[in-house]
Amino acid sequence: MPAKAWELLSDWIKPENATLIRSAMYTFRSLIAEKWRNNRILIAGDACHVMPPFMGQGMCAGFRDAWNLSWKLDGVLQGNYSANILDTYTSERKPHVEDVIDLSMYMGRIICVPDEKEAHKRDESFFSGTAEPIPEFPILTNGLISQKDQFNTLAGSIAPHGIFKINGAETRLDQLAKQQFLLLTSKAVQLSHDDTEILDQLNCKVVSINRDDEIVENGYREQDDNIYHFMNEHNVQALLVRPDFYIYGAAKRFTEVSGLLENLVQDLAEYTLTEAAIY
């Protein structure tokens, strides 16, 4: 082992210049726990999945676990949802982690080519632009995402993030959201009384992208136009976003927002608090 370590270090440092205190051969494993919840016991991060190193997704996956779980736990503790909403934690996160592990292993097979000639061919394919395109990053495919609207191709994707100027100070979208549902609209829109009631019921904050400096209700001037350009790219006028910033669903026209909100209420109805015990 020390001999191999010095061989790998030889281009930069020699035994006469340093002392090798410790060396270890790193062997990675990809593991996923079968069960992520047992009544009031829930696991997250490395406790339920071990990620290959090739995309740096280990800690990222742990953050996604925490964000997914936190708003659901908060809803249970606040008395807004029954405890069975916690079952969606595993059904949403486990397939996503499996997909990320598969993608990371795919990247590993590209990075770790031991044969020099094959590695040269790989490099040439990237330099020439003929390399196979890297697969899209995985999205959520199960759980609390819209399966009904025609734009559910966005459902399960991460929402765009933006920075806004409010009272002369920059504010991030996550600071505005404060772990609420979000209705992002491409411009200020007048919502019906029924829609407003549903928004209150969902504790959903409206954030409208204001394209000028005029002060309008729920209108915010976006500094980087990231959200605005995302909506234009996908030809949608509204995004309904979960507290963990995954998109529940999208609306091509403002007239479809009411249906999108009603769908979310119906999907959450399964998890409204009943007299059932938390177990």
pLDDT of residue 149: 57
pLDDT tier at 216 (50, 70, 90 boundaries)? low
Q: Measured between alpha carbons, how far is 96 from 93 in angstroms, rounded to an integer? A: 5
Domains present along the chain, CATH in parentheses = 2-107 (3.50.50.60), 163-269 (3.40.30.10)
Q: What is the pLDDT of residues 12-54, one digit of tens each?
A: 999 999 999 988 777 777 889 999 999 999 999 999 999 998 9
Give the model's pLDDT for residue 25. Answer: 76
Whether residue 229 is predicted with pLDDT greater than 90 in this model: the reply is: yes
pTM value?
Answer: 0.85
Burial of 273 (C-beta count, 10 Å sphere; 0-12/13-18/19+) = middle
Which tens digits make up the pLDDT trace of 74-120? 999 999 999 999 999 999 999 999 999 999 999 999 998 989 999 99
Per-residue pLDDT of 231-267, as tens digits, reads: 999 999 999 999 999 999 999 999 999 999 999 999 9
Mean pLDDT, the chain, integer: 89
* Tens-digit pLDDT profile for residues 52-64: 989 999 999 999 9
**pLDDT score at 276:** 41
Model confidence band, residue 166 (pLDDT cutoffs 50, 70, 90) = confident
Name the burial class of residue 32, with classes exposed (0-12), middle (13-18) and buried (19+) by CB atoms within 10 angstroms of its CB: middle
Q: What is the tens place of the pLDDT at every residue in 111-164?
A: 989 899 999 999 999 999 999 998 999 999 999 999 875 556 899 999 999 998
Question: Between vectors from CA 243 to CA 253 and to CA 177, what angle results, nearest 5°?
Answer: 80
Where are the strands (E) in 94-198, listed by range? 163-166, 169-172, 181-185
Of the candidates 105, 101, 104, the residue with the CA atom closest to the CA atom of residue 49: 101
CB 48 within 8 A of CB 33: yes
Report whether pLDDT(274) > 70: no
The pLDDT score that the predictor gives to residue 5 is 87
Handedness of CA 129, 131, 133, 135 (dihedral sign): negative
